[in-house]
Amino acid sequence: MWLPRVVEAVRGSDRPVALVGGEPFGVPFVIEALRQHGPLAWFEVDPWGDQVSHGNALARAVNAELPAPLLSLALPYRAHLAALSRYRSDLRPLRFAVTTSDLDQAILADLLDLHGNGYSVVLDVRGDPTDGDGLLRRCLVLDEDFLRVRREEAAAIVPGGLGPEAAERLWRASGGRFTELAAVAHQAAGLPRLHLPSPAGPLLPESAAELVDVRQAVYAFMREGDPISALELAVLKAPELVEDLLKHAGPRFQSEGLLARLHVLLSALPESHSHTERVLEWRLMAAWAANDYQEVLADVDAYLAAHVAPSLRARRAGSLPREEGFAMAEQAVKARRTPLTLWQYGRLHPNPEKAAELLRESVRLAEEQGSAYEVARNASTLATQLLHMGEYARAASWARWALDVVDREQVQDGSRRLIIINQLAVARIMTGDLVGLRAVLEDAQALVEGSVPGLAVIFRSTLGLLELAEGRPEEALGLFSATYHASHRRNRARYGYQLVRALLELGRLDEARRVADDVWEVSTAGEGHERKLAALARGMVGAVAGDAAAPDDLLEAMLATELVADQRLTAVLYYLLATGGAAHNVPRDLVPVLSGLNRVGLSVLSGPARDFERVWATLSVARAPLAFRFLGGFDCRFHGEDVQLPPRLAEAALALVLHPEGITRDELNDFLVSDGNPPFTSGGMRSLVTRLRQLLPVSDAPYRFTVPVEADVLLVRELIRSSRVREAVNLMRGPLLPQSDAPGVVDLRWQVEEELRQAVLLAGDPDAVYDLAERLGDDLEFWQAAAAALSTGDPRLALARARVRRLEQSYGLS
């Protein structure tokens, strides 16, 4: 039998397979038949395609095979390959099939790299392409000779009613080409016309193709939800339709990241159809995205000289320097208040408070009369504005809401989604809400690193902030350093001050000074804000080193309203360090922001703690003199100084922390020594307590600390009791004293973990559930809870469902 023979050859290969024979030799039928043997993501590589259009095709094909969408559109295919590689254990088995007539497309070689370990690749090679990169040498090639229908296989293809003689005759006439044989056999048997499978749905054989009036085809594409094809066809043969089509096609090109292609299409329009208002608007946007806009600017300006054109005017405003752009945006919004004009006006408004107010209004207007894309765009810009103002909690709220809109309404623009994720992450770090952030940021960074350089820089920077927030300065240094050393001269100051921050945290003052000096030198010819950031970097080093000039540098930076809030706040904190607390010089707009920062925000913006404890103490609630960390490791600070305790004393300290009223010798013995082991002798217990008392203030028996104490384990339990599960998960950095097997520790470890587990399951907070599910590994109940808690459109939903499926299979439950 022809089909099983070919399908088995594909399935039996441990190498990628190239089917070279195309439609005539029945390759589409082979690929379609592979679906019966597991999930199959089949897509076609566009002949004009760029990395993003290839990414869109790949994303659509993969998402169609998953229980929920995982990959967003508008991202280069390499971002998706990174995600597929990262989530392989949950997504496999998965077969990729690619139809192409151009073996030079880079996506093919990259996709072949993915082959193996649960993924397999099939190339459907059409025509007679050159194989410059030797792609086919990496594949098992099944060529026309192999794909040809053998005489004995023909009878199974030809309907039985025609008889063996007819089968023989048709087989000879077809030359063994499956599609031709099947088509004529269908026709001879009076069966419905043969349809060929394809990634875009069933096709007629080439010989049965139909000629269609172009306008009819354009409208049909629109009805079928494909305005992108409709517009291309209209540009080629019905340009008079373009103005109207752009209403739907323009936003689609934009949200799918295809503005470069739109630029080609609209540049090809005859002049008679390229100077209308909507066409000019999209020509401007597409040309701007393609960085080829000089010509269109002249056309736009000529049009605006004679027309009000609010939308076009608002778009043009965005391409001008800020002051000029603001004046034009104001004209646009006065002419007509729309989600677009109001958004642009708010975005460019010089007064931060007013800008936020306008942007909030633009969100409301977008909800009333705009698209989901406009709602998300406007809300995301509002979040950015609030971040710049240091209104982190409000920024988090708007970013979270914008993300919900993107996911719920399935706004396809993956780049915008990532930008919102980053905004939300920064806002959450600054407010100390770190639950689940690491996974989100690491996933995003893996996606964009090496594929979307602009976003990779942003995510590296935000991940660096998270590392600082979680007390991992070495990791922060690695991230900041990578960005700094790869940066353009004009961005040196921007990234240099972050690098200085990490170096200071690690006590590497000389290196920090060298970076600050370099930044100062290369930024001297730069614009104002570069100079001010360079002053910030130099001032930070000076503040820690005690340089007399440091306050001046820092004053310059903190007064610079063109810098964003976190940069100015850093300047303020180092200024307070350098001046011994000259709080009267702190700019008035930063005072409420500064006093609203919690410990996490403060430790991200300034450090190291040994230098800043006094500054922080003046800004936040006083801390207990004795502070312990027992979760995920052990730290002890007494009056701000690190105290080193050996493991046994750390266990004893935990016992005392749990008994503020005091613990007897017997109770302490029971806490430390398991049944069956010899108990402490009276002298041994006294010695243990004496050693602890030499380091920390401990009373006589019953033993207790004689100063107020704070400990993370106590706080976690308090948070659980008051149903503040996000904060509890956030604080639960790891097991209680992970190395300890003292019975009291082991019991409490289990108890705290179970309390948290139950609280998180009960609360159903998606971030908290997903975070804990990842930490717990293969806990089916948690992955089921995550799948139930996550909203449609959130890519984590696809992964949670895939993990549930895998775990149910491995536990024999499905």
Partner 1 sequence: MERAEALARLQRTTRFQFVGDRVVVRNVALLNSIAAAQRVEEENGVAASSAEVGVAPLRLAAA
Residue 122 has, within 13 A of its CA and on its CB side, a CA count of 31
Question: 199 vs 432, which CB is nearer to partner 1?
Answer: 199
Distance between CA atoms of 379 and 342, rounded to whole angstroms? 12
Q: Least Å distance between CB 424 and partner 1? A: 37
Q: How far, rounded to the nearest angstrom, does the alpha carbon of residue 202 sit from its chain's CA centroid?
A: 35
Question: 269 vs 748, which CB is nearer to partner 1?
Answer: 269
Residue with tokens 């005489």: 151
Helix (H, G, I), strand (E, B), or coil: what is residue 364?
helix
Question: 145 vs 213, which CB is nearer to partner 1?
Answer: 213
Residue 239 has, within 13 A of its CA and on its CB side, a CA count of 14
Angle between helix 414-430 and helix 437-448 axes, rounded to 10 deg: 140
Smallest Cα–Cα separation from 496: which of 527, 523, 528, 466?
Answer: 523
Distance between CA atoms of 548 and 544, rounded to whole angstroms? 11
Cβ proximity of 706 and 699 under 8 Å:
yes
User: Please, is 383 exposed, middle or buried when counting C-beta atoms within 10 Å of its C-beta (0-12, 13-18, 19+)?
Assistant: buried
Give the binding range for partner 1 (CB under 8 A) out of 67-75, 138-146, 227-235, 457-465.
Answer: 227-235
| Binding of partner 1 by 323 (CB under 8 A) | no
Distance between CA atoms of 508 and 525, rounded to whole angstroms? 28
Question: 233 vs 800, which CB is nearer to partner 1?
Answer: 233
Give the binding range for partner 1 (CB under 8 A) out of 195-203, 429-437, 442-450, 610-618.
Answer: 195-203
| Binding of partner 1 by 213 (CB under 8 A) | yes
Distance between CA atoms of 629 and 622, rounded to whole angstroms? 17
Question: 290 vs 372, which CB is nearer to partner 1?
Answer: 290
The secondary structure of 425-450 as a DSSP string is HHHHHHTT--TTHHHHHHHHHHHHTT
Cβ proximity of 776 and 785 under 8 Å:
no
| Binding of partner 1 by 624 (CB under 8 A) | no
Question: 202 vs 660, which CB is nearer to partner 1?
Answer: 202
| Binding of partner 1 by 203 (CB under 8 A) | yes
| Binding of partner 1 by 224 (CB under 8 A) | yes
Return the residue of 32, 90, 232, 407 that touches partner 1, per CB under 8 A.
232
Distance between CA atoms of 20 and 11, rounded to whole angstroms? 16
Question: 192 vs 321, which CB is nearer to partner 1?
Answer: 192
Residues touching partner 1, count (CB under 8 A): 43
Question: Looking at residue 777, what DSSP letter applies?
Answer: -
Q: Least Å distance between CB 276 and partner 1? A: 16
CA angle 68, 71, 74 (to 5 degrees): 135
Cβ proximity of 166 and 158 under 8 Å:
yes
Return the residue of 268, 302, 308, 591 that touches partner 1, per CB under 8 A.
268
Question: 47 vs 683, which CB is nearer to partner 1?
Answer: 47
| Joined tokens for residue 445 | 């960074």
User: Please, is 529 exposed, middle or buried when counting C-beta atoms within 10 Å of its C-beta (0-12, 13-18, 19+)?
Assistant: middle
**Phi, psi dihedrals of residue 262, rounded to the nearest 5°:** -60, -35
Binders of partner 1 in range 435-494 (CB under 8 A): none
CA angle 422, 426, 430 (to 5 degrees): 165
Question: 205 vs 390, which CB is nearer to partner 1?
Answer: 205
Residues in the chain, total: 814
Give the binding range for partner 1 (CB under 8 A) out of 232-240, 320-328, 571-579, 711-719.
Answer: 232-240
Return the residue of 156, 214, 327, 813 that touches partner 1, per CB under 8 A.
214
| Binding of partner 1 by 130 (CB under 8 A) | no
| Binding of partner 1 by 208 (CB under 8 A) | yes
Residue with tokens 């982190």: 392
Question: 200 vs 617, which CB is nearer to partner 1?
Answer: 200
Question: 42 vs 87, which CB is nearer to partner 1?
Answer: 42
Helix (H, G, I), strand (E, B), or coil: what is residue 235?
helix
Residue with tokens 């608007």: 281
Angle between helix 339-348 and helix 310-317 axes, rounded to 10 deg: 30
Return the residue of 156, 204, 327, 549 that touches partner 1, per CB under 8 A.
204
Question: 291 vs 682, which CB is nearer to partner 1?
Answer: 291
Q: 304 to each of 246, 327, 329, 766, how far by Cα in Å?
A: 19, 14, 13, 49
| Binding of partner 1 by 127 (CB under 8 A) | no
Binders of partner 1 in range 517-576 (CB under 8 A): none
Return the residue of 160, 164, 202, 453 that touches partner 1, per CB under 8 A.
202
Query: Contacts for 230-234 with beta carbons within 8 Å, 24 or more apart?
Result: 231/262, 231/265, 232/265
Question: 205 vs 601, which CB is nearer to partner 1?
Answer: 205
Cβ proximity of 117 and 88 under 8 Å:
yes
Which positions ≥6 away from 676 have C-beta within 8 Å?
Answer: none
Distance between CA atoms of 570 and 586, rounded to whole angstroms? 12
Q: Least Å distance between CB 211 and partner 1? A: 4
Return the residue of 271, 323, 368, 661 that touches partner 1, per CB under 8 A.
271
Distance between CA atoms of 367 and 525, rounded to whole angstroms? 45
Return the residue of 35, 64, 67, 219 that touches partner 1, per CB under 8 A.
219
Helix (H, G, I), strand (E, B), or coil: what is residue 711?
strand
| Binding of partner 1 by 132 (CB under 8 A) | no
Distance between CA atoms of 452 and 421, rounded to whole angstroms? 15
Give the binding range for partner 1 (CB under 8 A) out of 263-271, 508-516, 577-585, 766-774.
Answer: 263-271
| Binding of partner 1 by 128 (CB under 8 A) | no
Question: 216 vs 682, which CB is nearer to partner 1?
Answer: 216
| Binding of partner 1 by 264 (CB under 8 A) | yes
Q: Least Å distance between CB 131 and partner 1? A: 21
Question: 46 vs 779, which CB is nearer to partner 1?
Answer: 46
**Phi, psi dihedrals of residue 798, rounded to the nearest 5°:** -60, -40
Give the binding range for partner 1 (CB under 8 A) out of 261-269, 437-445, 582-590, 754-762.
Answer: 261-269
The secondary structure of 231-266 as a DSSP string is HHHHHHH-GGGHHHHHHHHHHHHHHTT-HHHHHHHH
| Sheet strand arrangement including 119-125 | 40-44, 94-100, 119-125, 17-20, 140-142
Question: 224 vs 324, which CB is nearer to partner 1?
Answer: 224
Q: Least Å distance between CB 497 and partner 1? A: 40
28 to 67: interface string for partner 1, x by CB under 8 A: ------------------xxx-------------------
Cβ proximity of 456 and 435 under 8 Å:
no
Return the residue of 83, 97, 107, 265 that touches partner 1, per CB under 8 A.
265
| Binding of partner 1 by 273 (CB under 8 A) | no
Give the binding range for partner 1 (CB under 8 A) out of 137-145, 219-227, 470-478, 481-489.
Answer: 219-227
| Binding of partner 1 by 750 (CB under 8 A) | no
Q: Least Å distance between CB 96 and partner 1? A: 21
Distance between CA atoms of 135 and 137, rounded to whole angstroms? 5
277 to 306: interface string for partner 1, x by CB under 8 A: ----------x--x-x--x-----------
Question: 47 vs 321, which CB is nearer to partner 1?
Answer: 47
Give the binding range for partner 1 (CB under 8 A) out of 137-145, 228-236, 446-454, 792-800.
Answer: 228-236
| Binding of partner 1 by 622 (CB under 8 A) | no
Q: Least Å distance between CB 136 and partner 1? A: 24
The residues that touch partner 1, with contacts defined as CB under 8 A, are 46-48, 195, 200-206, 208-217, 219-221, 223-224, 232-233, 235-237, 263-265, 267-271, 287, 290, 292, 295
